[in-house]
Amino acid sequence: CGRQSSRSLKQRLLVVANRLPVSAVRKDEDSWSLEISAGGLVSALLGVKDFEAKWIGWAGVNVPDEVGQRALTKALAEKRCIPVFLDEEIVHQYYNGYCNNILWPLFHYLGLPQEDRLATTRSFQSQFDAYKRANQMFADVVNKHYEEGDVVWCHDYHLMFLPECLKKYNINMKVGWFLHTPFPSSEIHRTLPSRSELLKSVLAADLVGFHTYDYARHFVSACTRILGLEGTREGVEDQGRLTRVAAFPIGIDSERFIRALELPQVQDDIRELKERFAGRKVMLGVDRLDMIKGIPQKILAFEKFLEENANWRDKVVLLQIAVPTRTDVPEYQKLTSQVHEIVGRINGRFGTLTAVPIHHLDRSLDFHQLCALYAVTDIALVTSLRDGMNLVSYEFVACQDSKKGVLILSEFAGAAQSLGAGAILVNPWNITEVASAIGQALEMTAEDREKRHRHNFTHVTTHTAQNWAETFVSELNDTIIEAHLRRRN
Ligand code: G6P
């Protein structure tokens, strides 16, 4: 009885995101193995506890047959996940096309692809139609699993159509939508041919959240300038109905990282890494291999640093972990070859028979290896050209309480607003500036490092993923109560 009442006190949540926290790999006809998915959204949401949450999303794999679908649904149910099955064609048009070739670059200020500049081009329109169809498929699954009282929390740019589809099913559904990327200036958003439809659908949600106040402000201006609606301090108003818009900066489960550092296997890895890189300062980059992460620019800045500081050449090493992502999108394929070419050239130029300046890995590390790597790092380089938040910077800080290394952070990452005072902020496009930030970080006094680390560590350990989720969900509930009261009066 006690257990039942504490269970019922927990808010039930349906978390809907394009990608489930686990991706499926088929073993044989009816068996699957599940691996943790990459990316900031997953890493933050894994830190959200104390809700009775179920996930709805795509398992990252095409499963055309019913036997496979049944087996996967069963395997995922154990992880409280519910799959949305998308076929190859829809993945191609919706995920590779509209989401990752159009919305993703646009929201990160990289513009629309040339061939899709005209709204009338067939590929743009068919990708947009597929996007709407895919969002409807997500809505169907949500609707099937929805129970009265659930909060439905939709995530990210893949699902901008979902709030409208859900409210069509049930106007009383509590719907929140959160964007994990930047929302660009309204001047950028207005270049998108489907600009109005997307905004209108998002406004069907009760609460719309962003990482930073700037993104929220850009969204409200897009609604006022493009849709002609009224922007207020609270959000956007349309004929007396308010959609609340606010900033909710995300965080990580910092305790999970701090605890991991105590594990014997992580301690062993730390010892081994220290031995391997003895006598050299370790610089680290951990990114998905994505054009927004500014990997070529970062490596070129490192080259410039080596060029200008011959005394450091054999005393510093850059470890770049580049996790492959969206490998079917041509832009990502081009980026992979470009990065390999630059790394090869620099290693050829500055390498010796026994050591190279850059260790570049095209793969992810497991959680424990990653914690060990963060812990031995002297300087983390997070130099995204644009980034919604960037949780790698948070993870690094969480693992640095003994070393107190330096964070070099792009001023165009959302994290610059929370960790800016403790980091060295840089414009990632300015290679000279990043090169000199590397020099500054290497020469920084222990006292300065301690002070900066303390600021960031306090932030990361007090602004956690759990706080973020609690604040969002309680604001959503309050918004709905206030809307009822307004209607009654
Ligand atoms: C970013 C997005 C997430 C996405 C992740 C990984 O963090 O905001 O929504 O899941 O990248 O990208 P992928 O395309 O592999 O899901």
Q: Is the pLDDT of residue 95 over 90?
A: yes
For the segment 23-59, what is each residue's pLDDT rounded down to a tens digit? Answer: 899 998 889 999 888 777 887 888 788 899 999 999 9
Which of helix, strand or coil describes residue 372?
helix
Tokens of 406: 């330096």
392: CA distance to ligand 1 center in Å? Answer: 14
pTM summary value: 0.95
* Nearest Cα residue to atom 8 of ligand 1: 180
Per the DSSP assignment, residues forming a β-bridge with 16 are: 56, 154
Residues 388 and 247: their CA atoms lie apart, in Å, by 12
Q: Which atom of ligand 1 is nearest to the CA of 100?
A: 14
For the segment 434-460, what is each residue's pLDDT rounded down to a tens digit? Answer: 999 999 999 999 999 999 999 999 999
Q: Is the pLDDT of residue 6 over 90?
A: no
278: CA distance to ligand 1 center in Å? Answer: 35
* Nearest Cα residue to atom 16 of ligand 1: 19
For the segment 412-441, what is each residue's pLDDT rounded down to a tens digit? Answer: 999 999 999 999 999 999 999 999 999 999
For the segment 96-155, what is each residue's pLDDT rounded down to a tens digit? Answer: 999 999 999 999 999 998 764 454 456 888 999 999 999 999 999 999 999 999 999 999
Q: Which atom of ligand 1 is nearest to the CA of 99?
A: 14
326: CA distance to ligand 1 center in Å? Answer: 9
Residues 333 and 336: their CA atoms lie apart, in Å, by 5
172: CA distance to ligand 1 center in Å? Answer: 29
Residues 7 and 49: their CA atoms lie apart, in Å, by 13
For the segment 264-317, what is each residue's pLDDT rounded down to a tens digit? Answer: 999 999 999 999 999 999 999 999 999 999 999 999 999 999 999 999 999 999
Q: Is the pLDDT of residue 194 over 90?
A: yes
Q: Which atom of ligand 1 is nearest to the CA of 388?
A: 8
**Strand 406-410 to strand 207-210: parallel, antiparallel, or no bridges (unpaired)?**
unpaired
Residues flanking ligand 1, CB < 6 Å? 18-19, 38-41, 156, 180-181, 325-326
41: CA distance to ligand 1 center in Å? Answer: 7
- Sheet-wide strand order for 235-238: 81-83, 52-58, 12-19, 151-155, 174-178, 207-210, 241-247, 235-238, 230-231
39: CA distance to ligand 1 center in Å? Answer: 5
